Amino acid sequence: MSRIGKQPVEIPAEVSVDLDGDKISIKGPKGELSMDIAYGVDVSLQEEDGQKKIVVKNKDNSKTSRSLWGTVRALIQNMIVGVTEGFKKVLELHGVGYKMAVQGKKLVLHLGFSHPIELEIPADLTVEVEKEKLTVSGVDKQRVGQFAAEIRALRKVEPYKGKGFRYEGEQFIKKEGKKAVASE
C-alpha cells in the first residue's frame, strides 16, 4: 500500500482546483497547470475544518492502479508547489573562455566549439544568467528539470579538468591524469 498515496494534499487559500472528469486544473499566483488523471486512480476534493484537501485513491486493487496511486498524488503536490512557489534549477559553468548570455528569447552559449550554440527558451520558463551561474525557473517541475538537463548535456563536466556545466552543489571526482614513467 502506498504511504505517499494515503496522505491528502492540502490546498493553500490562494490556489483554486478544478476537477473535470479525468482532468485536474490548478490555478495559483504564479500560473496555471493541468494534468490528465491516470486510469485506475480516483481523485476527489474534500473539506475538513475549513481546509480544502485533495484525496487520491485507487479505484480497484490492480497492479497498475497501485503503482500509479502515489505517483499521481506526488504529481498533484508538485503542481500545487509550482503554482505557489515555483521551481528552479541553478547550473554553474566552469571553464576558461566559456560564456553564456540571454539575447531576447534565446540562450547563446559559447562552449569551446567552433560556433556558438543558440537555444530557444520555452515560453513558460525564465532563464537568467549571472556571471557563471544560469538559473532556469518555472511552474512545471518536469519542464524546468528537462530544460536544465538539455543545457547540461551540451557540455557535461569533463572528468580531468572539471570544465563544463554542473548543477549547483554537485560534487564530482577529478580523475588523475597519466603519469610519466621514470626511465632507468
Q: What are 12-69's pLDDT values in tens digits?
A: 999 999 999 889 999 999 999 999 998 889 999 998 888 999 999 988 888 888 888 8
Q: Are residues 154 and 99 in the same domain?
A: yes
| Summary mean pLDDT of the chain | 92
CB 103 within 8 A of CB 177: no
C-alpha neighbours within 13 Å on the C-beta side of residue 42: 7
Q: How many CB atoms lie within 10 A of CB 15?
A: 16
Q: Are residues 76 and 60 in the same domain?
A: yes
pLDDT of the residue at 1: 59
Alpha-carbon span 151 to 111, nearest angstrom? 11
Q: Are residues 32 and 45 in the same domain?
A: yes
pTM metric for this prediction: 0.88
C-alpha cell at 51: 481546509
Domain of residue 73: give its range.
3-84
CB 15 within 8 A of CB 83: yes
CATH number at residue 141: 3.90.930.12
Q: Are residues 79 and 91 in the same domain?
A: no
pLDDT digits (tens, 9 = 90+) for 66-89: 888 889 999 999 999 999 999 999
C-alpha cell at 103: 539575447
Alpha-carbon span 170 to 166, nearest angstrom? 6
Residue 178 lies in a domain: no
The residue written with cell numbers 503536490 in the block is 77
CB 92 within 8 A of CB 157: no
| Domain C-terminal end among 33, 56, 84 | 84
Residue 115 lies in a domain: yes
Q: Are residues 142 and 154 in the same domain?
A: yes
Residue 173 lies in a domain: no
Q: Are residues 15 and 77 in the same domain?
A: yes
Query: CA torsion, points 134, 28, 36, 42, in degrees to nearest 10?
Result: 130
Residue 181 lies in a domain: no
The residues pairing with 58 across neighbouring beta strands, listed in sequence order, are 41
Residue 51 lies in a domain: yes
pLDDT of the residue at 183: 62
Number of domains within the chain: 2
